[in-house]
Structure 1
Amino acid sequence: MSALVVVGVDGSPSSLEAVDRAAREARLRGCGLKVVHAFIWPAMHVPLGPSPLGPAEGGLRNQVGRMVAEAVEHARSVAPDVEVTSVVATGEPLTVLEAQSRTAALVVVGSRGLGGFVGLLLGSTAVHLAAHARCPVMVVRGRPGPARRIVLGVDGSPAGDAAVEFAFAEAALRGTGIIALHAWTPWSAPAPPPQDPSMPYAYEPGMLADAEERLLAEAVAGWRERYPSVSVEYKVLRGGAREALIESSGSAELLVVGARGRGGFVGLLLGSVSQALLHHAHCPVTVVRGPDAHR
């Protein structure tokens, strides 16, 4: 059997939505689903069993068992043909889920968990996991739009190739198409050689825009050949990537981006655009880290 889809659960409504989506993703891939709960209380040396004065079914351990069983049952109701297993691992969520990601095809989490501060749009586990996981991370937020298209954010960087590959594979699984979106500004675009060396900032009108269109076409060309059944719509927009991708997510089924784009600071595990999308996108977001990020 291929690598599993892993879903993190904590008993919150957000994590139950993640279970729903993870079960569907496992069914698409023809693989199993593992429901994972990070049980932090043993490390804090608090009583786990029922109180001597309370019911036998009380206590943290029993509470967690019921919560995980509910998540497993929900997954099986969504995808009855998917093999669902569960594990309760001692540790804090980021450490537990990062370890699970080492052998997973995909990790799915909700956008907010239990204990989130009122007004906090994204739980800390989700954003940190997107930066540290060893496989793609899907953060379930918003609602899939009506277009049944995957929006792929393309920046032309080598680190972004993994996101392009993931988006094409995902579109092929779903039988849907891709909107390949590239947004640029004169400050973010790598400048082409000047026409007149004596005037280093003098370019023919449209030269930067033409270069950005070529960048997008070249970034997806090889993957179009590998996945000929996947239709691709190209969008090259002059403007901020955050705004363009957030707006496009309103009608998308899924938004796929790399963890870091061109121009990212060395050592920065999650780029500012990816973070903004995790906080504000209108549909689920998958963040894909390039192979160099795992070294």
Structure 2
Amino acid sequence: MSGVVVVGVDGSASSLAAVEAAAREARLRGAGLRVVHAFIWPAMGVPLGPSPMGPAEGGLRNMAERYVAEAVERARAAEPGVEVSDAVVTGEPLTVLEAQSRAAELVVVGSRGMGGFVGLLVGSTAVHLAAHGRCPVLVVREQPAAEGPIVLGADGSTAGEAAVDFAFAEAELRKAPLVALHAWTTWNALMPAPKDPSMPYANPQGALAGEEERLLSEALAGHQERYPGVVVEHRAVHGATRTALIEASRSAQLVVTGARGRGGFTGLLLGSVSQALLHHAHCPVAVVRAAVARH
């Protein structure tokens, strides 16, 4: 066994779905599974034990232990061969899980938690981890298509290279086909050089589409050789990236995207495409940041 997959739990149905997904990811990787609950109450200065007037099994600490025990039981039932450990870690969930991500292969969370407000489509923990986590973050949303492909949002950016690596590896682990989708419009396309400098915007018909298809091929170059068993479909489409990926997610078992891509603004912690997928995708979403140093 090598490495560990971390899953954050809080007793919600969403986090238990994340546990099952995390257990599967651990099995595929030959990794261990670490079930983590962030126990914020000690920092709030509130009583942690059972009330003198209540049952002995009451109290916040016992509740946290029950959340973890239920999650561990769910993980072992889903994947009996996976080694499962657990921890109740004092701290705020965002800080705890970000720290856990430093030594993890993957962090898995549900899209909604116990503290989710009605109308908030994705929990703040998921968004924060996608922007700051030190490893890829898998956010479990709706049930995926069992036999669907892995869909990769590829934009040809340097920041997106880690997402390409992750998508190919995931497709190989799952023995699933990979759809590499690159969507472009006249506003974000790479403009080919004009043949006549006096007419800077007069390019041959189809030139933009050709440039974008080339960009997609270059983004995938080398990966198909490293993963010869992965069947890859190149799909360069004219349209909005968010719309295209959300639509593709309807028949996918996983969508993979970078945290930032072409055209990202300095200081923007999570790109608009990643945000849209976390809110509206019809399957789990993996957000993969560019390689970061681990301390």
- TM-score for the superposition, normalised by structure 1: 0.98
1:220-262, Cα deviation, whole Å (9 max, x unpaired):
1210010000000111110100000000000001000000110
Tell me the residue number matched to 1:96: 96
Tell me the residue number matched to 2:285: 285
1:15-57, Cα deviation, whole Å (9 max, x unpaired):
0000010001101111100000010000000000011111111
Contact 2:258 2:290 in 1 (8 A): yes
Equivalent residue of 1:248, what SS?
helix
Structure 1 residues 13-52: aligned runs within 5 Å:
13-52=13-52
Contact 2:102 2:294 in 1 (8 A): no
1:292 Cα deviation after fit:
5.4
In 1, distance between residues paired with 2:294 and 2:80? 34
Letter in 2 for 1:156: G
Letter in 1 for 2:242: R
Letter in 2 for 1:184: W
1:267 Cα deviation after fit:
2.0
Tell me the residue number matched to 2:136: 136
Tell me the residue number matched to 2:263: 263
Equivalent residue of 1:72, what SS?
helix
1:196 Cα deviation after fit:
1.2
1:116-141, Cα deviation, whole Å (9 max, x unpaired):
11121111111111000000000000
Letter in 1 for 2:202: A
Letter in 1 for 2:177: G
Say yes or no: does 1:215 pair with 2:222.
no
Equivalent residue of 1:237, what SS?
strand
1:293 Cα deviation after fit:
8.6
1:58-106, Cα deviation, whole Å (9 max, x unpaired):
1000111111101001100111110000011111111000000000000
1:146 Cα deviation after fit:
4.6
In 1, distance between residues paired with 2:222 and 2:173? 18
Tell me the residue number matched to 1:181: 181
Equivalent residue of 1:162, what SS?
helix
Contact 1:151 1:179 in 2 (8 A): yes
- Superposed CA RMSD: 1.2
Give the length in aligned residue pairs.
295
Tell me the residue number matched to 2:12: 12
1:266 Cα deviation after fit:
1.2
Letter in 2 for 1:96: V
Letter in 2 for 1:73: E
Contact 1:17 1:140 in 2 (8 A): yes
Contact 1:162 1:288 in 2 (8 A): yes
Say yes or no: does 1:2 pair with 2:2.
yes
Letter in 1 for 2:289: R
| Runs of at least 5 residues in structure 1 that lack an aligned partner in the other structure | none
Structure 1 residues 143-292: aligned runs within 5 Å:
143-291=143-291
Contact 1:159 1:292 in 2 (8 A): no
Contact 1:154 1:181 in 2 (8 A): yes
In 1, distance between residues paired with 2:269 and 2:185? 23
In 2, distance between residues paired with 1:209 and 1:170? 28
In 2, distance between residues paired with 1:4 and 1:23? 10
**Structure 1 runs, 4 residues or longer, greater than 2 Å off:** 292-295
Contact 1:177 1:231 in 2 (8 A): yes
Tell me the residue number matched to 1:83: 83
1:147 Cα deviation after fit:
4.0
1:198 Cα deviation after fit:
1.2
1:148 Cα deviation after fit:
2.4
Letter in 1 for 2:94: L
Equivalent residue of 2:115, what SS?
coil
